Amino acid sequence: MLDIQKIRKETDQVVRGLAKRGLKIDFTDFLAKDEKRRQLISDTEALKAKRNKTSAEIPKLKKAGQDVSEVLKEMKTLSDEIKEADEVLAALNEEQAEYLAGLPNIPAEDVVAGGKENNQVIKVVGKKPDFDFEPRHHVDLAEQLGLIDYARGAKLGGNGYWIYTGLGAQLEWALLNYFIETHIKDGYKMMLVPHSLNYACGFAAGQFPKFADDVYWLDTLPGDDRDNSHFLLPTAETALVNLHRDEILAESELPKKYFAYTPCYRKEAGSYRAEERGMIRGHQFNKVEMFQYTRPEDSEAAFQELVDKAIALVEGLGLHFQVSKLAAGDCSASMGRTNDIEVWIPSMNDYKEVSSASNAYDYQARRGNIRFRRDGGKRNEFLHTLNASGLATSRIFPAILEQNQLADGSVLIPEVLRKWMGGMEIIKPVK
RNA sequence: GGAGAGAUGGUCGAGCUGGUUGAAGGCACCGGUCUUGAAAACCGGCGAAGUGCAAGCUUCCGGGGGUUCGAAUCCCCCUCUCUCCGCCA
Report whether pLDDT(A277) > 80.
no
Decide: helix, strand or coil at residue A168.
helix
The 10s digit of each residue's pLDDT in A115-158 is 999 999 999 999 999 999 999 999 999 999 999 999 999 999 88
How many residues would you count in chain A? 431
What mean pLDDT, rounded, does chain A reach?
91
Q: What angle do CA A399, A389, A144 make, to 5 degrees?
A: 25
Q: Which nucleotide is nearest to A57 (CA to C1')?
A: B19
Task: Quote the DSSP letter at residue A134.
Answer: -
pLDDT band at A210, cuts 50/70/90?
confident
Write b or e for each residue in A242-278: b if 16 or more Cβ atoms lie within 10 A of its Cβ, otherwise e: bbbbeeebeeeebbbbbbbbbebbbeeeeeeeeebeb
Report whether pLDDT(A251) > 90.
no
Q: Which nucleotide is nearest to A45 (CA to C1')?
A: B58
Residue A334: HSE in the Cβ half-sphere, 13 Å Cα cutoff: 29
* Protein CA at A336 to nucleotide C1' at B17, angstroms: 56
pLDDT, position A305:
98
What single string gives the DSSP state of each residue in A205-270? HT-TTTTGGGS-BSSS-TTTSGGG-EEE-SSTHHHHTTTTTT-EEEGGGPSEEEEEEEEEE---TT
Report whether pLDDT(A209) > 90.
no
The 10s digit of each residue's pLDDT in A18-68 is 999 999 999 999 999 999 899 988 888 889 888 888 888 888 787 777 777
Report the pLDDT averaged over residues A157-172.
94
Amino acid whose CA is nearest the C1' of B10: A248
* Protein CA at A388 to nucleotide C1' at B81, angstroms: 33
CB-contacted nucleotides of strand B (7 Å): 10, 19-20, 29-31, 48-52, 56-59, 65, 69-70, 78-79
Q: Which nucleotide is nearest to A227 (CA to C1')?
A: B79
CA–CA distance from A119 to each of A127, A147, A195, A322 (Å)? 20, 34, 32, 12
Task: Quote the DSSP letter at residue A356.
Answer: E
The 10s digit of each residue's pLDDT in A294-317 is 999 999 999 999 999 999 999 999
* Protein CA at A379 to nucleotide C1' at B48, angstroms: 10
| Percent of chain A scoring above 90 in pLDDT | 65
CA–CA distance from A355 to each of A283, A310, A311, A388, A391 (Å)? 17, 7, 9, 6, 6
* Protein CA at A64 to nucleotide C1' at B19, angstroms: 15
The one-letter amino acid code at A95 reads: E
pLDDT, position A90:
86
Torsional class of A376: left (φ above 0), alpha (ψ -120 to 50), beta (otherwise): left
Task: Quote the DSSP letter at residue A340.
Answer: E
**Bridge partners (DSSP) listed for residue A262:** A287
pLDDT, position A274:
67
* Protein CA at A45 to nucleotide C1' at B20, angstroms: 21
- Which H or E element spans position A324? strand A321-325
CA–CA distance from A37 to each of A49, A87, A89, A119 (Å)? 18, 12, 7, 41
Q: Which nucleotide is nearest to A50 (CA to C1')?
A: B57
Q: Which nucleotide is nearest to A381 (CA to C1')?
A: B48
* Protein CA at A92 to nucleotide C1' at B70, angstroms: 26
pLDDT, position A223:
52
By the 8 A CB rule, do A260 and A291 touch?
yes
Decide: helix, strand or coil at residue A164.
strand
Q: Which nucleotide is nearest to A79 (CA to C1')?
A: B69
What single string gives the DSSP state of each residue in A284-307? EEEEEEEEEEE-GGGHHHHHHHHH
Our separate counts of H helices and E strands in chain A read 12, 17
Amino acid whose CA is nearest the C1' of B28: A250
Report the pLDDT averaged over residues A11-18.
94
Q: Which nucleotide is nearest to A47 (CA to C1')?
A: B58
* Protein CA at A373 to nucleotide C1' at B41, angstroms: 29
Report whether pLDDT(A399) > 90.
yes
* Protein CA at A20 to nucleotide C1' at B32, angstroms: 53
A189's CB contacts (< 8 A; 6+ apart) are A256, A257, A258, A259
By the 8 A CB rule, do A322 and A345 touch?
no
pLDDT, position A272:
63
pLDDT, position A137:
94
Superfamily of domain A116-427: Bira Bifunctional Protein; Domain 2 (3.30.930.10)
What is the domain partition of chain A in residue ranges? 26-101, 116-427
| The CATH number of domain A26-101, selected from 3.40.50.720, 1.10.287.40, 2.160.10.10, 3.40.1800.10 | 1.10.287.40
CA dist A314 and A297 (Å) reads 28
Q: List residues, Cβ < 7 Å, touching strand B.
A: A 4-5, 38, 41-42, 45-46, 48-49, 51-56, 58-59, 62, 72, 75-76, 78-79, 90, 227-228, 248, 371, 373, 375-376, 378-380
| The model's pTM | 0.91
Decide: helix, strand or coil at residue A198.
strand
Could you report the predicted ipTM of this complex, rounded to two decimals? 0.83
Report whether pLDDT(A104) > 60.
yes
By the 8 A CB rule, do A231 and A218 touch?
yes
